[in-house]
Amino acid sequence: INFPGPLSASSTSTINLTNYLLNLKNNESRVSGSFKFDISLPSSKKTSLFNNSLIHKLEPKISYFYTPKQKQSKLPIFDTTDNYLDTLTYTSLNEKRYNGVDRINHENDIMLSFRSSYLDSIEPNESRLNFVISQRYYGDDEAVSDSPNEDFEKIKKYSDITSSLDISLGKYHNLKASI
């Protein structure tokens, strides 16, 4: 048994530069940076499930996201879609509210998540059972709007609790469910 495992921390930072030439005379530019920091306490132990030797991994994680707040209503929307209604994608998978480059949501958010995985002991990169539950807490009650001429819109202070379950019976047989 290796419980609890070593504390794990990681960080990521990015800088985005967007420049629009509008009506062949107006230039609109935006520079935005972001920062993400994760802390987790992974643990693992050998176990068996249905007579298969597996490694059970548990990983509670706290993530912090920061992107400064900017007005963006003067910028056109070409290919941006909003992930806000797709709660699972926004909170636990993609972590970004918008797909595309036309809108960058500000963040001062904390996400709590818990992952439980059963990995094949012969091929440790092969997950047989994976369960994730998460919730995101927003540091602001406004979000960048994707509506024309509107800078911000009201949102609640936290996301819905999301979960996903992935089951693999082999290399080519997978079942995924998300709530």
pLDDT of 9 reads 79
pLDDT band at 102 (very low <50, low <70, confident <90, very high): confident
> E-strand spans in the chain?
8-22, 26-40, 43-49, 52-67, 81-82, 98-99, 107-120, 127-137, 142-144, 152-154, 162-170, 173-178
- Taking residue 93's Cβ as centre, other Cβ atoms within 10 Å add up to 15
* pLDDT > 70: percent of the chain: 74
Query: Which pLDDT does position 1 carry in this prediction?
Result: 41
The CB-side HSE value for 23 (13 A sphere, CA atoms) comes to 5
**What is each CA distance from 161 to 57, 113, 132, in whole angstroms?**
21, 10, 11
pLDDT at position 123 is 77
pLDDT for position 59:
93
Query: Closest Cα to residue 163, out of 150, 176, 172?
Result: 176
Which pTM value belongs to this model?
Answer: 0.73
Is residue 3's pLDDT more than 60?
no
At 113, the pLDDT band (50, 70, 90 cuts) reads very high
Chain-centre distance of CA 115, in angstroms? 13
- Residue 4 has what DSSP assignment? S
pLDDT at 63: 92
Q: What is the mean pLDDT of residues 76-80?
A: 72
Q: What is the average pLDDT score of the chain?
A: 78
Q: Which two three-digit tokens encode residue 174? A: 């997978």
Q: Answer whether residue 15 shows pLDDT above 60.
A: yes
- CA separation for the pair 144, 155 (Å, rounded): 10
pLDDT of residue 84: 62
Query: What backbone phi and psi angles, to 5 degrees, belong to 70?
Result: -140, 140
pLDDT at 157 over 90: no
